[in-house]
Amino acid sequence: MKSWALALLVLVFIQKQGNFLQVEAADGFVKTSGMHFVLNGIPYHANGFNAYWLMYVASDPSQRSKISSAFAEAAGHGLTIARTWAFSDGGYRPLQYSPGSYNEQMFQGLDFVISEAGKYGIKLVLSLANNYESFGGKKQYVDWARGQGQYLTSDDDFFRNSVAKGYYKNHIKTVLTRRNSITGVVYKDEPTIMAWELMNEPRCTSDPSGRTIQAWITEMASYVKSVDGNHLLEAGLEGFYGQTSPQKQQYNPNFQVGTDFIANNQIPGIDFATVHSYPDQWFSSSSDDTQLSFLNEWLNNHIQDAQNVLRKPLLFTEFGKSSKDSGYSTYQRDMLFNTVYSAIYSSARSGGAAVGGMFWQLLTEGMDSFRDGYEIVLSESPSTANVIAQQSHKLYLLRKMYARLRNIQKWKRARAIRRAQWWNRNKGKNTGN
């Protein structure tokens, strides 16, 4: 009964959005045009979610129904972009056992995720490495390099050491040239994948100047583009301002991580900018009102800089409110979501750089071990689910408006051509020739 109701929910949403789905039926790669995403020639604004666990869970065929349920529930609420991990380095159930040695079962899990996302019209942002130790991260690459005799003193040497960087480049090439065992499509030719992400939240605290991260992003962006010319690329940044914009550092939380929102995103191979937003972590001792006030400034400053300085699209790739926070209420979480969504929609509606947001994180029922306080189980959170669905619908209406404008423009061009043809045919008759 539950699965029938879920299928009905998805069907109702699809029927409501039928006109737009017809516009996007001939699926293509998401591209950029100035400050906007474009899909099939139409500006593309989208609401989305994080689900880092997709490949991990899908690697067990008996658990794949959870991926299908998550995508169905997401589609039923108008969510069309998902961000997830395309890495798991060393440790338990890895994707990469050791440099260049891969776990086919885990890869087949990722194959299923991509195939299933395509069925529900969900585009994917696939992250290629982690800054942190979970799922291996840069520490695992440094440990592997040490095992080959490299003298490395810090996990940040991942960004500097040629051996560690070589291992990472090999992982990039292996993932991008993987042929999906279900669809038969090579990942770099798969339009369901919207973008690659170099790393989840790259940080190099040993070099607060930002030069190390700048050089690493430049090198790796160039390498990704040499392998895959179809997909968009982003760096995985949280949005902290660096030394190239000292006047903006007042808007940072009170720490430096060696990244630079402006300089890093000006690198030619980076197609769009990203921002993460966790005021409850950054100002845990502050009131909810203070956190929301910071968030408003944080959002608006990045939107303005993406629009006026970077001239690139801006995707808010992580935001959330933890239920483990002192004094937490669903109302507070809904307020935070509304704050993020309002900033995005206001920018999108006026032709600005904000193209969408992705909350952390979506779970489906029966995944209690994955709960981290930030989880959203849509069936358990009706008020938040409603906030999410409303944003999806507002962005859908924007896309529909752009689709109609495009059709009007095409009609006007066709009419002008027909008039010119008629004039040329009748010109001779009118002159008596």
Active-site residue list:
201, 318
CA distance 67 to 120: 11
Contact residues for 46 (Cβ-Cβ < 8 A; gap 6+): 37, 80, 81, 123, 355, 356, 395
In one-letter notation, the amino acid at residue 344 is: I
Distance of CA 29 to the CA centre of its chain: 14
Helix (H, G, I), strand (E, B) or coil at 102: strand
| Residue-wise burial string across 331-362, b where 16 or more C-beta atoms lie within 10 A, e elsewhere | ebbbbbbebbbebbbebbeeebbbbbbbbbbb
Non-local (6+) Cβ contacts of 429 within 8 A are none
Question: What one-character DSSP code corresponds to residue 306?
Answer: I
Find, among 327, 321, 398, 408, the residue nearest to 37 by Cα: 398
CB 280 within 8 A of CB 322: yes
Under 8 Å between Cβ of 137 and 111: no
For the record, the structure tokens of 239 come out as: 């949005």
Q: Which residue has the tokens 């009905």?
A: 8
- Name which of 280, 300, 302, 299 is nearest 291 in CA terms: 280
For the residues of 88-100, what is the DSSP string, one character each?
-BSSSS-SEEETT
H or E segment at 84?
strand 81-85
